[in-house]
Amino acid sequence: MRVLGTYYGATLLNENTLEETNMKNKIELEYYATEKSVCIKSKKEIYYGISIVKKEYCKSNIKFEKYTVEKISTNKRRIKDIMKILKSCKVTPIALEDVLNDLMKQNMCKIAC
């Protein structure tokens, strides 16, 4: 199995959330920090990104959905702060890019979900 990155945490969508979205199956969201080394002018930089994996537990199988955004920042602490927001807001893979764009525009000012 391919390593997705450093595991940050997971969250379950509760029954109220599932009812709002007309979903009936249990859904788990997992959050990972990714790393990518890049050489720029003979200097090695580490860029951090984020992956979200959605697991939807159907009757006899599990449906997976994954989305990754690479090279978000060279600041590991900033990635951890972003992941805290993503997890608490239960951001899904399909919404990751839009949410990241909004966070970057707001420069991660106090965001409440």
Say if 111 falls within a structural domain. no
Question: Which 3 state secondary structure label does DSSP give 22?
Answer: coil
Rounded CA-CA distance 10/30 in Å is 4
Domains identified in the chain, total number: 1
Q: Return the higher-pLDDT residue of 13 and 48.
A: 48
> Which pTM was predicted?
0.82
Q: With a cut of 50, say whether residue 1 has pLDDT above it.
A: no
Q: What is the pLDDT of residue 4?
A: 72
Q: Give the side-chain half-sphere CA count within 13 A for 105.
A: 6
Which residue bears the tokens 């997705």? 4
Q: Is 11 part of any domain?
A: yes
Task: Read off the pLDDT band of 19 (50, 70, 90).
Answer: low
Tokens at 29, concatenated:
């969201």
Q: Each residue of 54-109: pLDDT tens digit?
A: 999 888 899 999 999 999 999 999 999 999 999 999 999 999 999 999 988 886 54
Q: From CA 86, how far away is CA 35, in angstroms rounded?
A: 18
Is 112 among the domain residues? Answer: no
Task: Specify if 56 maps to a domain.
Answer: yes
Percent of the chain past pLDDT 70, that is, above it, reads: 82
State the residue range of the domain holding 44: 6-105
- Laid out side by side, the sheet with 62-73 consists of 6-12, 26-40, 43-57, 62-73
Average pLDDT, the chain: 85
